[in-house]
Amino acid sequence: MNPCPICESTQSPRQLGKALLARDDCFDLVECGACRVRHLDPLPTRQQLAAFYAPRYYGSDWYKQLGRGMALARQELKRLPAGRFLDVGCGLGYFIEGIRRHSGWSVSGVEFSAEAVAHARGHLRLDVRQGELVECGLPPRSFDFIHVNNVLEHVRDPRGFLKECRRLLRPGGWFYLSVPNGVVDSRNLLEFERRRRRPGRSKDGHLFFFPGATMLELLDQAGFQVTRTYTYGIRRGLRILGLLPRGKKWQRDYESRPSVVEPGGTHRQVVLPAGRTRPDWYYLYRHQEARLKRLPGLRGYGLDFSIYSR
């Protein structure tokens, strides 16, 4: 039996159910009795992840990412001295392109998908490296702000990932982490299996499901000092927990789907849908609205956590 990938406990994990990535990739969904982290077992291989993150995974909200980068630059980064900004899991790069256009910060990115990196480099001329963060060979203490938005739950070695982020952060720099509340995030997946009597698809490709207390312990072990924590997605979390009415079509997201890897490796380029033109004030308003809706602390009924550390 392999030890827990988070706390290295050797006690047998609790079997919760099954989960899919693509149609043929079925995994156990287990919970560690020591740290309470839930995860797919065994963890997917690099090849299985590459199949999941094929080009069709990217680009549907590219224009929103551009606006969100602009809003972050104008409402948060302007309060800090301009420096070097790293976005881990940067996708096609439109989020950091929004930052670059609206601030004096120098931006860089890291992304697992080779096709997404080719787009970011070729179309946006961004400094983006391909692969897992620990493989990228970035120099220590080289960034003033490291941004990790809904990425940690996708990586195969969360502990090593956080330690690498700590190594890359300059003294006095900021580390922002957004991660789903694991108990809520995994609930629909388990409920789908209970109702349908077959495994559901981990719809966003999540490999790990972290409780808040364990998340804080991981950050402490990696050498971070947590300064602020928040919970957001309150209404969605309450719906998933059954405390508000669910949407009638929620199960659709968990239906199995064929692999998105095309036979023969054809059509490997990213294709962007048409964007929607919205004024800057719209994204500035939405950014501020999201900040006002979040609650201080890590609360068990919200969908997502955000954590600021140094």
What pLDDT is stored for residue 86 in this prediction?
Answer: 98
CATH of the domain at 294: 3.40.50.150
Q: Assess if residue 187 is contained within a domain.
A: no
Residue with tokens 């976005």: 87
DSSP letters spanning 86-126: EEET-TTSHHHHHHHHTSS-EEEEEES-HHHHHHHHHHH--
Q: Assess if residue 58 is contained within a domain.
A: yes
Ranges under pLDDT 70 in the chain: 1, 23, 258-268
Structure tokens at 274: 């048409």
Helix (H/G/I), strand (E/B), else coil: 168: helix
What pLDDT is stored for residue 265 in this prediction?
Answer: 45
Q: Assess if residue 226 is contained within a domain.
A: yes
Q: Assess if residue 230 is contained within a domain.
A: yes
Q: Assess if residue 192 is contained within a domain.
A: no
* Residue 122, Ramachandran bin (φ over 0: left; ψ between -120 and 50: alpha; else beta): alpha
DSSP bridge partners of 231: 295, 305
Q: Is the peptide bond before 211 cis (omega within 30 degrees of 0)?
A: no
Could you tell me the residue range of the domain that residue 78 belongs to?
Answer: 44-179+213-256+274-309
Q: Assess if residue 108 is contained within a domain.
A: yes
What pLDDT is stored for residue 263 in this prediction?
Answer: 43
Domain count, the chain: 1
What pLDDT is stored for residue 121 in this prediction?
Answer: 97
Angle separating helix axes 62-75 and 280-293, nearest 10 degrees: 70
What pLDDT is stored for residue 259 in this prediction?
Answer: 53
Residue with tokens 């890897």: 261
Q: Assess if residue 158 is contained within a domain.
A: yes
DSSP bridge partners of 85: 107, 145
What pLDDT is stored for residue 262 in this prediction?
Answer: 46
Q: Assess if residue 188 is contained within a domain.
A: no
